[in-house]
Amino acid sequence: MQLESSGERTTTSTAIFGFPFSIGDDPTVMPAGAYVIHTRERSYTRAHGTAFIAVSVEVEVQERPGSTSYRVVKPSHFETALAMDKVRTSSSYR
């Protein structure tokens, strides 16, 4: 059974990286720090409720004071970068 999207939403959060990182196949290394993240999600409604599935992640990058760029990445690539940072953070406290 094919599900049809019943709408979209964007959520905003902050992700904190403890170490320099890169996302996906992009070799650009971004510095450790706090990043504002905008996650675009599609909603799918069925009889038992609504599910939201992330379709893209937009990372705000402060290039320099007063200059912001945005990197749109796959949600799975962003989650992998964040998970790898958490592993590095937890192993550095041992």
Decide if pLDDT at 93 tops 60.
no
User: Which residue from 8, 31, 9, 28 is spatially nearest to 20, judged by alpha carbons?
Assistant: 31
User: Which residue from 36, 20, 21 is spatially nearest to 77, judged by alpha carbons?
Assistant: 21
Render pLDDT for 33-50 as a digit per residue (tens, 0 to 9). Answer: 999 999 999 999 888 888
Decide if pLDDT at 3 tops 70.
no
What average pLDDT is seen over the chain?
A: 90
**Any idea what DSSP says for residue 31?**
P
CA–CA dist 92, 65 (Å, integer) = 31
Predicted structure pTM score? 0.81
Beta strands at 33-46 and 67-73: parallel, antiparallel or unpaired? unpaired
With pLDDT > 70 as the criterion, what percentage of the chain qualifies? 91
